[in-house]
Structure 1
């Protein structure tokens, strides 16, 4: 009961914060908006937004909620992802695309961690959208750990074609990385246990999946 009340209060808090941010951005008071984001992040984690983005690529951002109950952790991660997406939007609106990257990328990492451990609870309306974040990050190079989270997310959601695209981006970048090749082999071995209909629904027909598996096995020196 306590956790549910806490989550409801947090949702109300986030709705108010996002309304404030919308007003500040409309007035082009970007620095004031960033201050609101930092204060809100400190309310969640004791770290402001810039400090969180500095952890990106150095430490798993999931550690920000280490030891907390799953539902509380998910609520905090999604709230933080929403705030960091707002920060990225603010940078982008000012024409600072490079400065927007760590905010968008950190938002995506937090969101993916939350969604990979999501229970059956509905997401709040302010939860960011994976497709929207990947679209704004498309011009940038994503680090391996973020691509791995994307691969797991797409696999979990039966978006097999998207998972394959991410996988082969990683293989193309690091063609001799045994961990990535083994990850890909495991991915194909798992999805090939699905029915033809399920594979077709995920836009990755069996023949294509088998061909890709054979390609990865050849890279590893095996035979399909």
Structure 2
């Protein structure tokens, strides 16, 4: 109960600060709100915005892991704060891009250099992707989604990132999240993006372990525990994970599949694509 009360108070503080950002026109006011968010982050999580930018999603997740268990509600609140901070930083940087004189000097030095638009977009994508990865992990770990609008924010972030190639850890979590929430069509889409990302990263080079592993090694189902975040799995392991996904869904009745957006005929088509993918991997 104490932990929940603590999180509720923190979320109330966050909401009060974010409420100040609505309709702001002055750049100095945006910077003030960003400073308040950073102060809240430092007070509640002992980390500031600059450090959050420098650390990877895996590094940040480890900060919320104690005795091998992820504190999902805390991680969710932190990821939500990162998403809101990313939006404010983006708006602030865009304002500087269009009007460099709007930056407020502090002791004769501008708080932010005049950013180039490409850098602004790249920073926003990086922050958004990192926050999304953490938010997905928090929900997969059973966070209380009543505390913050986690699912809504995740879907909004995905819409903003729809033209961006997400990294392995995000795609792996995205696939599992959609499946857990019974959005089977979206899960299938994320799964194939995760499968194909291995080929993209290897630039078409041969997966030398594929044939040996397909023939000889006992397979352990991939559910995110055995494989950590799915980043370092070989192509053969990914294909087996995909086959296990279709095995799980094949056990559902037609009504459940249709409710999840993946009718049985489309399920069979997807499985056939995985089988083709598997045979191609062995031949290559």
Report 1:99-178 matches (<5 A). Answer: 99-118=123-142, 122-125=146-149, 129-175=153-199, 177-178=235-236
1:125 deviates by 4.9
Instruction: Give the unaligned 5+ runs of structure 2.
Output: 95-116, 200-206, 208-234
Indicate the structure (1 or 2) with the bigger Cα radius of gyration: 2
State TM-score, norm by structure 1: 0.84
Q: Distance in 1 between matches of 2:89 and 2:143?
A: 33
Give structure 1 stretches of 5+ with no counterpart.
none
Higher helix share: 1
1:75 aligns with 2:133: no
SS of the equivalent of 2:27 reads: coil
Q: Offset at 1:194?
A: 0.9
Question: TM-score of the superposition, structure 2-length normalised?
Answer: 0.68
Alignment root-mean-square deviation, CA: 2.7
Q: Quick one: structure 1 residues 100 and 113, their matched pair in 2 at CA, closer, same or farther if it must change by over 3 Å?
A: same
Counterpart residue number, 1:13: 13
Is 1:78–1:111's contact at 8 Å kept on the other side of the alignment?
A: yes
> Quick one: distance in 2 between partners of 1:128 and 1:80?
16
User: Of 196, 200, 214, which aligns to 2:258?
Assistant: 200
Following superposition, which runs of at least 4 residues in structure 1 exceed 4 angstroms of deviation?
Answer: 125-128
* Paired residues of 2:135 and 2:150 also in contact (CA < 8 A): no
Conservation of the 8 A alpha-carbon contact between 2:73 and 2:143: no
In 1, distance between residues paired with 2:151 and 2:242?
29
